[in-house]
A and B are shown apart, each in its own frame.
Chain A
Amino acid sequence: MMNLLQLENVHKRFGDFTAVSDISFSIEKGSIYGLLGPNGAGKTTTLRMIMDIIAPDAGSITFSGNRHIQDFLNQIGYLPEERGLYRKMKVRDVILFIAELKGLYKQQALGEIERWLEKMQLSEWANKRVDELSKGMAQKIQFITTVIHKPELIILDEPFSGLDPINMTLLKDLMLELRDNGSTIIFSTHVMEQVEKLCDHICLIHQGKVLLEGELRAVKQTFGKNSVEIEYLGSLEPIRNSAWIQGINDFGQYAEVRLKMPEDYRPFLRELVEKGVDVTRFELVEPTLHEIFVQSVEAHGGVVQDAE
C-alpha cells in the first residue's frame, strides 16, 4: 500500500511553547485515520502544518511522495475545528466561492452544488442567506465546502461537535461512503468513542508527542484483555479501593474497570460478590481507547485531565 501522506520528525514551537515535538506518522491511501488527543495536544497545529497554513520548524511533510504540498492543496479538503461562513452571502454563492478557490470551474461547481444540496436535503435553502440557517444546517454546508472538489485527502477536525444524533449518523455514513469511493480521511477528535467505531488506524498525541501509532486492532491487542465491563444495581462504593483494580470509569449503573493484571479478574469477581455488589453483567473485554489513552499517558509519567 502506498502512503498518501507522510510526516517525519515534525516540530513546531510558538515562542517558548512547544506545540508539536517530533511527530511522525504515515497515512495509507483509502483509510480513515484517527488523530486523537485531548484539547491542546497539538492536533490542530499538526493539521495546519499539513495544510501549509503554518510552516513546521523542522521535519518534513510529503503528499504522494512530494514535499511541495502547496501544489496539492486542491486535492485536499479541510474542515477546521473553528469554522464559519460569510453570514451575508447566499448559500450557493458561498459554496461556489470556496469551490472556485479549490480550482473548480463555475459550471462544474454549480452542478456539484445542486447534487450535494439535494443529498443533504438542503436544496430549498440554496438562495437563502447563511445567517438564516440553523447551526446544524450551516455545519452541513460547511461539510459540502470541504468535499465539493472531490479531494483525495479529507481532513476533518472535530466534525461531530455540535451535531444532533441524526446528523451525526448522516455524517458518519458520508465518511464511510467517501472512503469507499477512494478518499482518504484524517479524523481528528478528542472523543475516543467516535474513533473506535470509524477508524482503521490511529495516532495518539499528548502534549505534542506521539504516544501510540498504528492499526487500531493491533494497538488494542498489545494492551491485552485486562478490562472488565460490569453492570450493577446500587452502588460500587464497597470495591472502589479494591487491591486488584488500577482504574475505574463509573457511569452509575455501568462501569469500565481496568485491572492491574489480566488474570486478576477472578479475585476481583470474588470480591464483588463478597462485598455484596449486585452485579447483573460481568464481561472480560478489550480495553476501550479511552483506557488505552489513560494508560499510555500514565506510562509516560503524565496525568490525564479528563478531557471535558
Chain B
Amino acid sequence: MPNKIVTVIKREYTTRVKSKGFVVSLFLMPVLMCGLVFLSSFLAIMQDRTKEMRKLAVVDETGEIFTEMQAAIARRSTFQHKGELVYQLQEESATTEEERAALRERVNTKDLYAYLEIPEDVLANGEVRFYARTATNFEVQNALRRIISDIVRDRRFAESGYSRREVSQLMRSVRFNAYAVKSSKGKDGGAEVESPIQTGARIGLGYLLVFVLYLFVIIYANSVMRSVLEEKTTRIVEVIVSSVKPHQLLLGKLIGVCSVCLTMFVIWVIFGVLLVMNIEPLLSIFGIDSLPMQFTLVIGTIKASSAEILAYFFVYFVIGFFMYSTLYAVVGAICGSEEEAQQTGGPLTMLIVVPFILMFQLFRIPDSTVSVLLSHVPFFSPILMFMRINVLMPPLWEILLNISLMCATVLLVTLISGKIYRVGILMYGKRPTLRQLWQWARY
C-alpha cells in the first residue's frame, strides 16, 4: 500500500516544483542576488557629484584661510565634474547674528549650497561649522575637513618651525593588516593563518548564505502557511484528515516544502561548483588569460572553505525551516483568511528578523558572552550560530549542544503545534483566543 506521508510529500513537492514560480526563482534569485551585490557596491563607490554650479559661502574670521582653501579646492576631484570646477567659493563677512541668519536663510532657499564658518581661534581649538540643507553629505564634509585641517596644520607646523613635507614624511602611518589565526594546522606545523583577502572571501560567502537562509525561511514558511490556509478555506482538509492523521499531513507538508528549497539549493551549488572549478577556461573565452593574484586567492579560499560552510548551511537551514514553518502552519490553521493570517503571523516574523538585525553588530564580537548567549536562543540559532560558525568557529561541543537544543525545540514546537493544528483546521469562524489555544494544545 502506498505510504500516505509520501503521497502528501509528493503532492506538495510536485505542485511547487512544476509551478512557474519555482522556475522563475531558480533563475531570478541568483540574478537578483548578484544584482543586489553589484548595486550596493556601486552605490558605495558612487560619489556625490554635481553638474550644477554649487555656491559655497565662507565666513572666514581669520581672514587668511579662504584664499588657500580656494586653491586647494581646485585641486580636488570631489569638487570637479569632468575636469571643470563646479563649486564656487565666495567669501562673506558676517559679524552679527542677523547676518549669519541671513546666510542660513540663503542656504534654505537653495541660493547657497552650504555655508562655512571658520572661527578666529581655529588654530587653537575653534569649531568650524558647516551649514547645509542636509548633514549627511559626508563626502563634501570630509573633503572640506581635510582641506581646512591641512591648512591649519601647515600653519601650526610653520609656527613651530617645521616644514609640511618633513612632517608628513615622518608622520605617515604604518601598514597594518589583520590575519586570522585558524584552528587548523598550516604547512609549517603551526596554526594556519588567513590573509585579509581570504577572510573577506570566506566571510563574504558566509554572509551570502546567512542572507539566503533568512530569505528562504521567511518565503517558504509563509508558503506553508498559505498552503494550510488553502486546505482549510477550500475545506478539502476534512477529506484529507479522514484518510491521514493531521500530524502526518503536517509532517508531509513540511518535508515536501523543505525538499523544494533543498532542490533549489542543490541546483545552485552544482552550478556554483561548476563555475568555480572552470573559472579559468571560462574567463579565457572572454580573452582574460592572466588573473590578478587576489582573484586567484579568492577562488582558492572559496574552493577550500565552501564544503564545510555549505554543510553547516544545510543543517541550520533544515532545522530553522522546521522550527519556523511549524509555527506558521499553526497560524494558517487558526485563521480563516489570508489577511487574518498575515496579521497574526506578523509577530512571528520578528523571531527571525531580530537575529538578522542583531547579526550585523554581533559579528564584530563573535565570542563575547552576549553573542554566545544569544546564539543559543533556539529561535535565533539558525542565523546567529551560523554567523558565529562563519566568523569564528565555536568549539565542536558548543555546536553539538546548539544543534541538540534546536532539535529539542523543534520537537516541542511540533508537539504543541500539531495539537493546535489538528483542532484548528476543522474550526471555522472566529479566531481562537490564546486561552483557547492553550486548551487545544492540552487535548
A103 at the interface (CB under 8 A from B): yes
A282 within 8 A of B: no
A73 at the interface (CB under 8 A from B): yes
With A103-B2, A105-B2 as known contacts, state yes or no: A84 contacts B240, CB within 8 Å: no
Which B-chain residue is minimally distant from A109 (CB atoms)?
A: B2
Question: Are B235 and A84 within 8 A (Cβ)?
Answer: yes
Contact A78 B242 (CB under 8 A): yes
Residues of chain A lying within 8 A (CB to CB) of residue B2: 100, 103-106
**Does B241 lie at the interface of the complex (its beta carbon under 8 Å from any beta carbon of A)?**
yes
Q: Is the CB of B234 within 8 A of A98?
A: no
Q: Which of A84, A88, A98 contacts B15 (CB 8 A)?
A: A88
Count A-B contacts at CB 8 Å. Answer: 66
Contacts of A97 in B (CB 8 A): 7, 11
A13 within 8 Å of B (CB atoms): no
Taking the complex as formed, is B4 at the interface, i.e. its CB lies under 8 A from any CB of chain A? Answer: yes
Bound CA–CA A298/B285 (angstroms) = 92
A100 adjacent to B241 (CB under 8 Å): no
Residues 48-62 of A at the B interface (beta carbon under 8 Å):
48, 51-54
Contact of A87 among B4, B234, B238 (CB under 8 A): B234
Instruction: Sort chain A's interface into a size bin.
Output: 20 to 34
Minimum distance in angstroms from A96 CB to a CB of chain B:
9
A78-102: contact bitstring with B at CB < 8 Å (1 yes, 0 no)? 1110111111110000000110111
CA distance A114 to B121 in the complex (A): 96
Please, which residues of chain B bring their CB within 8 A of the CB of A106? 2
Of the candidates B2, B235, B244, B426, the one having the most CB atoms from chain A within 10 angstroms of its own CB is B2
A101 touches B7 (CB 8 A): yes
A53 touches B7 (CB 8 A): no
**Which B residue's beta carbon lies closest to that of A79?**
B239
Overall SS of chain A's interface: loop
Contact present for A86 and B236 (CB under 8 Å): yes
Interface string of B414-434 (1 = CB under 8 A from A): 000000000000101000000
Q: Identify A53's interface contact among B234, B241, B428, CB under 8 A.
A: B241
Q: Which of A73, A86, A89, A105 interacts with B242 by CB under 8 Å?
A: A73
Q: For the complex, what is the distance from the CA of A145 to the CA of B234, rounded to whole Å?
A: 15
Whether the pair A102, B234 counts as a contact (CB closer than 8 A) is: no
In the complex formed, the residue of A with least CB distance to B227 is: A86
Residues from 138 to 164 in A contacting B, C-beta threshold 8 Å:
145
Chain A residues within 8 Å of B243, by CB: 73-74, 98, 101-102
Q: Is the CB of A100 within 8 A of B7?
A: yes
Chain B 220-246, CB-CB to A under 8 Å as 1, else 0, gives 000000000011011110111111110
Contact with A along B255-276 (1 / 0, CB 8 A): 0000000000000000000000
> Do A53 and B242 touch across chains, with their CB atoms under 8 A apart?
yes
Contacts of A79 in B (CB 8 A): 239
Contact of A78 among B4, B230, B233, B239 (CB under 8 A): B239
Interface residue? B350 (CB, 8 A): no
Is B235 a contact partner of A82 (Cβ separation < 8 A)? yes
**Interface pair A53/B15, CB less than 8 Å apart:** no
Report how far A103 CA is from B428 CA in the complex, Å.
29
Is the CB of B1 closer than 8 A to any CB of chain A? yes
Choice from B231, B244, B426 contacting A101 with Cβ under 8 Å: B244
When C-beta atoms are compared, the residue in chain B nearest to A85 turns out to be B236
A78 to B4, CA, bound (A): 17
> In the complex the two chains form, is B426's CB within 8 Å of A53's CB?
yes
Known contacts A53-B426, A100-B7, A101-B244; A89 and B239 CB within 8 A of each other: no
Q: Most A CB atoms within 10 A — which of B239, B240, B426?
A: B239
Q: A53 with B236: in contact, given A101-B7, A103-B2, A105-B2 (CB under 8 Å)?
A: no
| B443 nearest CB neighbor, chain A only | A55
Interface residues of A in 26-59 (CB under 8 A from B): 48, 51-54
Q: Which listed residue (B11, B238, B240, B242) contacts A82, Cβ 8 A?
A: B238
Q: Are A83 and B235 in contact (CB under 8 A)?
A: yes
Query: In the complex, what's the smallest C-beta–C-beta distance from B337 to chain A, in angstroms?
Result: 15
Of residues B7, B8, B240, B243, which shows the largest number of chain A Cβ atoms within 10 Å of its Cβ? Answer: B243
CA distance A232 to B233 in the complex (A): 48
**Interface readout for B1-42 with A: 1 if CB under 8 Å, 0 if not?**
110100110010001000000000000000000000000000
Report if A80-B238 is in contact (Cβ < 8 Å); known contacts: A73-B243, A103-B2.
yes
- Asked if A89 and B15 make an inter-chain contact with CB atoms under 8 angstroms apart, the answer reads yes
Chain A contacts of B245 at CB under 8 A?
Answer: 70
Name 19 extra pairs, CB < 8 A, besides A48-B426, A78-B242, A84-B236: A52-B242, A76-B242, A78-B238, A79-B239, A82-B235, A83-B235, A83-B236, A84-B235, A85-B236, A86-B15, A86-B236, A87-B230, A87-B234, A100-B2, A101-B4, A101-B8, A101-B243, A104-B2, A106-B2
4 closest cross-chain pairs (CB), A and B: A84-B234, A84-B235, A82-B235, A101-B243
Q: List 9 A-B contacts (CB under 8 A).
A: A54-B426, A73-B242, A78-B239, A85-B234, A86-B15, A86-B236, A101-B243, A101-B244, A103-B2
Residues on B facing A (Cβ under 8 Å):
1-2, 4, 7-8, 11, 15, 230-231, 233-236, 238-245, 426, 428
